[in-house]
Amino acid sequence: MNLRKAGYVVGEVDTTRFTFVSDIESFPPRYEYLVIPNVDEREGIGKKPVVVLAQVNRIINYSDILGEGLSLDELESIINRYTATTKVFGEAKILGYLNRRGEVIMPRSAAVPGQEVFIAPSDLLERFFTKDIRSGIPIGTLITRDEVKVALDPNGFRRHVAVIAQTGAGKSYLVGLMLENLLPLGATVIVLDPNSDYVMMRRTGDGGATAIADDLVVYRPPGLKGRRYSDQEVGGAEPYTIDFSKLNAGQVCDVAGISSRWAVIREAVGDALGQLQGIYGPPQLIEALERIALNPATDARKAKAAMSATTYIRRLLNYKIWGSQDIPLGELVKPKRLSVIDLAGLQRNVSEYIVQKTLDDVWGLAVTGSLEYPVFIVLEEAHNFAPGSGAGQRSGSSLGIIERIAAEGRKFGIFLLVVTQRPNKISSNVLSQCNSQIIMRLTNPEDMSAVRRSSEGLSEDLFNDLPGLNKGEAIVVGELTKVPTMVRVTGRRSGEGGSDIDLEEALRGALKAYELAKKMKPEEDDDKEYKTRW
């Protein structure tokens, strides 16, 4: 093994960390991996030499001379005459060693001061972090080593997975990358997509077709205006609508935003629905409510409630979702099928209903033994669909089924991939069931605390590293890798729906439109409008 020396172990060493001294030229960067060969590990009554892997988590450059107590003038007088020696030392945490079976074991013996420390070779790192690089799901490379690929263990998805990061850290890119590599393995995936983040996955970045294009179906309600990507841009979409007449009274009230505390109004809706038969929609329900309200035989309290209900139901007239084209459940659970249910542009209550309904349907199949293959459900913006008690928002209709799947789903072959930027706002019953977590840059202290509470595999060091991660960098903890791994996420081939907009370009467009409008309008009109407004 041709190793590059990084320095020597010094000072106090224990089985979890050590300090090493190097020089400024050859000092390894933070997060770099190191090895100490020949650490004497106890084995029964004897010893055996093992190669211990460690990661640099702190680097300190210091000078005895250029201290912080000096003034600028004093510093300059020294610097102009003498190159003060910089001393360098680092601290590294021990990650373990590989036993004969390729398992990662934490050593029970410590290295000895004076032992040489080397930069870890790439082949060792690959064996250390990835169970089987050929059958794994590639998600990028180690943060410090572009040449060391990291692949997730597909069996790691046997537990629910949470992908957590603040906005702009690269969550959707990562999830898309996982999906495009999970799908060819035969996976059935349903993506509940509130922001059209995954609708472009049939396209490559340059507009061509991806290898998964034929196995991906985008479902979206027809007739919605102002979408980020047209049906044509996403490579075609299957329409889906909701058959209003299949909704029960509770569901209608939830979708219409009638609070569960307003029992009389909800009762009036139930009474009105009882009068309707066959196929109907919101207009028919309004008519039924009005009939109740105007009927002299109705008592005054109920009449008033029925009239109030019409106000809420009337709002549903504007929703472009009613129809009779349900998403075909049989299609959703087909093997090697990625179904993206585009929820963008829909009212929150409606989205919640669709999430609830979809999950209920799949759950129904699962518990009756009708689910032939495992189903992975990607729940984007999960904090909105499964809010925690402290989230400051009402718990929507979808919370119950999500918590249920989180608790019991894996026994029936339903696995959640929970994606959120506000772990503090998500139900702890859901987050705590996610035994594997992929965490990207996170700086909000409340969100960090929530991650800390829910993640057993996140050590103090890794937790402290979260704010220091760059865009596209992630820490994988749990069963997806052998040990917690810091990854630079790369290699996605499909297009991104959730990428940031080019704001500079958009503003240029806005300015152009403004100037054009100004040219076309006489000046006095401008004045007039200004005066009128103010």
Partner 1 sequence: MKFIGEFVQEIDKKKTSFQQLFGLDEKQSKLESILKEELESHWHPLPEPRNVFTEEYSVDSSSASRTLSNGIDFFIIRALMLGTGNYNKPKLRFEMVKGIRDYNVITGFERILRDLIEIEIVLDNIEELPENSIVLIDGNLYGRFTHLLQELHLRGWHHLPLVLLDAMQRLFEACVERKVMLVGVSKFSKTRVVTAAMLSERGYDVADPDHLDVELLYRWKHRETGYTTPLLLGEYAVEKEVKNMYGDPDGYRRRFFNNIDPSRREWANGVIEGIPSSPAIVMFHMIPKGGAQPMRVDIPACSLGIDKKIMDVTPFEFMEPHTVTDVAKQLTADFGGRDVYNALLYVVDREVRLGVKAVDTVYKSVLGQELGVPIEYDRSSRRFAR
Residue with Cβ nearer partner 1 (87 or 227): 87
User: Applying CB under 8 A, which of residues 1, 44, 45, 83 lies at the interface with partner 1?
Assistant: 83
Rounded distance between C-alpha atoms, residue 249 and residue 271, angstroms? 9
Nearest approach, Cβ of residue 75 and partner 1 (Å): 8
Q: Which is nearer to partner 1, 65 or 294 (CB)?
A: 65
Instruction: Report in angstroms how near the CB of residue 85 gets to partner 1 at its nearest.
Output: 8
Residues in a beta bridge with 48: 41
- Residue 130 DSSP SS3: coil
Residue 112 binds partner 1 (CB under 8 A): no
Residue tagged 């309004």 (tokens): 286
340-369 binders of partner 1 (CB under 8 A) = none
3-state secondary structure of 441: coil
Does 77 bind partner 1 (CB under 8 A)? Our answer is yes
Rounded CA-CA distance 472/397 in Å is 33
Place of tokens 């995936």: 189
Our finding on whether 78 is near partner 1 (CB under 8 A) is: yes
Instruction: Give the pairing of strands 238-239 and 337-342.
Output: unpaired
Minimum distance from CB of 10 to partner 1 (Å)?
A: 11
Give SS3 for 298: coil
Q: Are 457 and 480 in contact (CB under 8 A)?
A: no
**Site residues (CB under 8 A) for partner 1, limited to 168-207:** none
Candidate list 12, 73, 299, 505; residue touching partner 1; CB under 8 A? 73
How many residues in the shown chain lie near partner 1 by CB under 8 A? Answer: 17
Q: How far is the CB of 68 from partner 1 (least distance, A)?
A: 12
28 contact partners, CB below 8 Å, separation of at least 6: 6, 22, 34, 56, 90, 119
Q: Which of 14, 46, 68, 82 binds partner 1 (CB under 8 A)?
A: 82
Residue 66 Cβ vs partner 1, minimum distance, rounded to whole Å: 9
- Residue 81, interface with partner 1 (CB under 8 A)? yes
Q: Determine the residue type at 529.
A: E
CB of 23 to partner 1, least distance (A): 15
Binder of partner 1 out of 70, 106, 511, 513 (CB under 8 A): 70
Can you tell me which of 23, 43, 76, 527 binds partner 1, judged by CB under 8 A?
76
Q: Which stretch binds partner 1 (CB under 8 A): 48-56, 79-87, 227-235, 413-421?
A: 79-87
* Binding region for partner 1 (CB under 8 A) out of 71-79, 162-170, 203-211, 252-260: 71-79
* Alpha carbon distance 510, 514 (integer Å): 6
In angstroms, what CA-CA distances link 162 with 159, 267, 379, 384? 10, 39, 10, 15
Shortest separation between residue 16's beta carbon and partner 1, angstroms: 23
The Cα 281–Cα 243 span in angstroms is: 8
Reading the block at residue 191, the tokens are 């993506």
Residue 366 one-letter amino acid: A
Find all residues with CB under 8 Å of 252, minimum gap 6, and list them. Answer: 244, 269, 273, 285, 313
Q: From CA 452, how far away is CA 473, in angstroms rounded?
A: 18
Q: Please say which residue, 46 or 69, places its beta carbon nearer to partner 1.
A: 69
Instruction: List alpha helices for 51-205, DSSP H.
Output: 72-79, 122-129, 171-182
Q: Which is nearer to partner 1, 64 or 500 (CB)?
A: 64
Contact segment (CB under 8 A) with partner 1 among 49-57, 76-84, 163-171, 505-513 equals 76-84
Q: How far is the CB of 59 from partner 1 (least distance, A)?
A: 22
- Is beta strand 337-342 parallel, antiparallel or unpaired with respect to 188-193? parallel
Q: What sign results for the dihedral spanned by CA atoms 74, 77, 82, 83?
A: positive
Whole-angstrom CA distances from 48 to 43, 44, 45, 108, 262 are 6, 10, 10, 12, 72
Site map 27..66 versus partner 1, x via CB under 8 A: -------------------------------------xx-
Toward partner 1, which CB reaches closer, 71 or 368? 71
84 is a site residue for partner 1 (CB under 8 A): yes
- Binding segment toward partner 1, per CB under 8 A, in 81-89, 146-154, 379-387, 423-431: 81-89
Residue 25 as a binder of partner 1 (CB under 8 A): the answer is no
21 SS3 class: strand
Name the CA radius of gyration of the chain, rounded: 29
Binding to partner 1 by residue 12, rule CB under 8 A?
no
* Contact yes or no for 53/34 (Cβ under 8 A): yes
CB of 26 to partner 1, least distance (A): 19
Residue 75 near partner 1 by CB under 8 A: yes
Q: How far apart are CA 208 and CA 205, in angstroms?
A: 7
Tell me how far, at minimum, the Cβ of 67 lies from partner 1, in Å. 8
DSSP-derived letter for residue 233 is: T
Say whether residue 24 binds partner 1 (CB under 8 A): no
Shortest spacing between CB 34 and partner 1, in angstroms: 25
For position 519 contacting partner 1 by CB under 8 A, the verdict is no
Pull the structure tokens for residue 308: 């109030």
Binding segment toward partner 1, per CB under 8 A, in 28-36, 47-55, 68-76, 110-118: 68-76
Q: Is 68 in the site for partner 1 (CB under 8 A)?
A: no
Using CB under 8 A, which of 61, 85, 248, 259 touches partner 1?
85
Q: How far is the CB of 154 from partner 1 (least distance, A)?
A: 53
Residues 458, 474: Cα–Cα separation, whole Å: 12
Site residues for partner 1 per CB under 8 A: 64-65, 69-71, 73-78, 80-85
